[in-house]
Structure 1
């Protein structure tokens, strides 16, 4: 209904000698400022006004006293260069800063500060906005009843800027449900009790200690999501047991972090992109979904199979990313008894050219063995430099086999970046011979971690009409992979298995390649 009302609304502005806005149809000078539209309740007009872009909303306030009233109570305030109409390269750096500051000052001067529900202030790195202006804007906007606050303070002052926690006192912070703060220090005092309605907290490049963070969230009984990125002062992260609504935890690039201890009883999803830490989740841990990737350390896959079964015993989905796997996946006694979905990403991010050269993809059978109820297995391999020998020779005598390793629940397997490496062909053949319930096998010789890669990476699904660019070496390898599939794998595919082969684009990746 609101979309229709916005279409029916028509506003005509005719310049007047009298600068004061008129709501009536006639002025003394005979000039007309007209407003036509359905006769609607005031709350409907306020809602329509709140849906308008910030600049249009501010301009329309000069047309009608009704809009002026709703403007002063506008619930959503978003201050970015885009919403303030500061076109890129239209002004010099100093002029852009002045215009940004003056426009925000003017808007907040005419806004009552009442009924603000959402505040977003994003100050670009090239703007030299003084922190005194920033604090003044927060003072005027963070009022009782506000629910969402997203703040990107002046980047130039991020090293010394401290978020004024006093702004959250006197009940002004108790209505906030979502808080996202970037590039500053956050130092809540002892006894801080100001975020009781908080459901989502996102701290990005924020200087806060583990004790300060615990103080910050200890009274946020409704907290559901906690996300920490590049918070370099946190050494120990402790989450108390009374945060029983917390279901999602994301921690990335917190380089000094050593311990994560969570007693939250309903934590179910954890994403960790850090170096290995002591992970204490308690015997009653309900974590079912885990994404894990090491930021600097190696052998993430080996760590996962040896350490995680006892730490997260109820895991159902596991996504791993390894930028350097220098050892083959070991065989272990412990099992992932509930794991149904496994996604492993391998890349060659290490400067050591031998990092993946000798990696044995067939060793991943150990992970399949450790997951007796596994249904979906996705392997993505991004080798920037192909350091392997292509499979060749007599298939009957050349390929290794691992007998008596059955994977009776495995239904779907997808290998992105399938290559002609002997061990990868062996892994594929092993799955075909030992996964009796297999229904779908996808082999994609062009690497991509995106979903629906066939539609997004290939030219048929892109607006540019061209495939993502790939090096000549990778295109050659993709053609070799197709030859390996044809020679060693096709004849092993049971009639009950749907085989999907995604090769290089015949138009964009055409190249003359000799058979391996």
Structure 2
């Protein structure tokens, strides 16, 4: 008998440790000798449960499991990230230490996907690698730089590598050539200082502080997704930082928090392959005065002449709401840069501030092939920032009015759509009615 999928988790109930362990042991005895495609264990267990867990690991090895996942938080992966991002400890007891037999040469013959979450890992001295492993995920794993290096250097078929919230890791380095690694995900390893890989990935997703990113070649890197935790100018990083080294970048997603304006030097640099750009911008106050300027982002039309889709997800965390009116002064109208490829623009978090109006008008007037510009006051910025519209909903009508009065009025092609988002009070009134 062959079983394609085997999962041991809490289901819809929340049994205690002993009940869960008894249930798993019973099920595994019933399936002794069965070949397993995937085995997944998800429950809040610790080192004190090592004897039982070791037997489960041995079962996975004996059943020639091609995919093996251990998650001793008892939570889904998204909830693990949600808690860890807020500094919440997932496990309060000593984590389970992965046994040496998991890394035996015999196991490496079959294993293609390994996911380890909330465990401790120390490779045996004779570890030779997993010859068939293509996907490796480490989340909240106690592991050293040396063991990360060893796993990456000895798993020659590895295509996908994800490492997140590994608190001991300071460096991710592989100096020997690796042509197989295509997808790299690095998420909030607090002590990380450098990433240096002798490979040419296709996609990169990075969350954390700004660290050196060094690859043997960036010729294949077409899709990057970066979230900077400290304050960092998105425009400056796009033009002078790591993205500027990527000649074939097609898709860029970047989230930055900014509190000061950065003047980017003019230069010949261009993203000639960039087709889609998504910027998530948190623009903050400094002593009740906002020093950032949304109009600066009009420069993107120059550096990405073949861009087709532009999404600007903004959050103005200013101390007071100030939608534009004529007494605030004339709108700045700079020289338009004729952009012949931009077809869709989405602007969310449009609070009607003067520089937001100016940016929307500049893009509208410069984009000669524009098919649709959608503007909404609703906050759509994500990445677990715990943003709520509650404190902004009372201004939705003003924001909608400003966009309609100043942006729609300048639209002679009928491409602008200003989304009217009802406030909480309006929703309550409609329900009462």
Q: 2:332 aligns with which of 369, 389, 400?
A: 400
**Could you tell me which residue of structure 2 aligns to residue 503 of structure 1?**
420
Gaps of 5+ in 2: 74-89
Inter-partner Cα distance in structure 1 for 2:223 and 2:116: 26
Matches within 5 A, 1:333-482: 333=267, 334-347=269-282, 354=287, 357-383=290-316, 385=318, 387=320, 389-393=322-326, 398-449=330-381, 470-471=389-390, 473-482=391-400
TM-score if structure 1 supplies the norm length? 0.72
Residues 1:489 and 2:421 aligned together: no
Inter-partner Cα distance in structure 1 for 2:288 and 2:186: 26
CA 1:190 to 1:285, structure 2 compared with 1: closer, same or farther past 3 Å? farther
Inter-partner Cα distance in structure 1 for 2:312 and 2:427: 25
Aligned to 2:55, the other structure's residue is in SS state helix
- Which has the higher relative contact order, 1 or 2, with Cα contacts under 8 A spaced 6 or more apart? 2
Deviations 1:236-267 (A, max 9, x none): 212456432221111010111111112223x1
Inter-partner Cα distance in structure 1 for 2:59 and 2:107: 11
Aligned to 1:142, the other structure's residue is in SS state helix
Query: How many Å apart are 1:189 and its aligned residue?
Result: 3.2
**Could you tell me which residue of structure 1 aligns to residue 67 of structure 2?**
148
TM-score if structure 2 supplies the norm length? 0.85
Identify the structure with the greater strand proportion. Answer: 2
**Could you tell me which residue of structure 1 aligns to residue 133 of structure 2?**
198
Report the count of equivalent residues.
408
CA 1:153 to 1:114, structure 2 compared with 1: closer, same or farther past 3 Å? same
Gaps of 5+ in 1: 1-69, 451-467
- Do 1:160 and 1:185's aligned partners in 2 also have CA atoms closer than 8 Å? yes
Query: How many Å apart are 1:141 and its aligned residue?
Result: 2.5
Aligned to 1:192, the other structure's residue is in SS state coil
**Could you tell me which residue of structure 2 aligns to residue 102 of structure 1?**
22
- Which of the two has higher C-alpha Rg? 1
Inter-partner Cα distance in structure 2 for 1:182 and 1:158: 14
Query: How many Å apart are 1:149 and its aligned residue?
Result: 0.5
**Could you tell me which residue of structure 2 aligns to residue 316 of structure 1?**
250
Inter-partner Cα distance in structure 1 for 2:159 and 2:407: 47
Aligned to 1:184, the other structure's residue is in SS state coil
Inter-partner Cα distance in structure 2 for 1:114 and 1:163: 23
Inter-partner Cα distance in structure 2 for 1:226 and 1:158: 27
Inter-partner Cα distance in structure 2 for 1:312 and 1:138: 42
Inter-partner Cα distance in structure 2 for 1:248 and 1:487: 45
Inter-partner Cα distance in structure 2 for 1:170 and 1:373: 49
Matches within 5 A, 1:24-423: 70=1, 74-82=3-11, 87-88=13-14, 96-124=16-44, 130-143=49-62, 145-153=64-72, 156=91, 159-240=94-175, 242-265=177-200, 267-328=201-262, 330-333=264-267, 334-347=269-282, 354=287, 357-383=290-316, 385=318, 387=320, 389-393=322-326, 398-423=330-355
**Could you tell me which residue of structure 2 aligns to residue 29 of structure 1?**
none
Query: How many Å apart are 1:505 and its aligned residue?
Result: 2.1
Inter-partner Cα distance in structure 2 for 1:403 and 1:508: 42
Inter-partner Cα distance in structure 2 for 1:165 and 1:128: 15
CA 1:353 to 1:370, structure 2 compared with 1: closer, same or farther past 3 Å? same
RMSD, aligned CA:
2.9
Inter-partner Cα distance in structure 1 for 2:172 and 2:404: 52
Deviating more after overlay: 207-216 vs 108-117: 108-117
**Could you tell me which residue of structure 1 aligns to residue 79 of structure 2?**
none
Inter-partner Cα distance in structure 1 for 2:337 and 2:410: 17
Query: How many Å apart are 1:409 and its aligned residue?
Result: 2.1
**Could you tell me which residue of structure 1 aligns to residue 85 of structure 2?**
none
Aligned to 1:271, the other structure's residue is in SS state strand
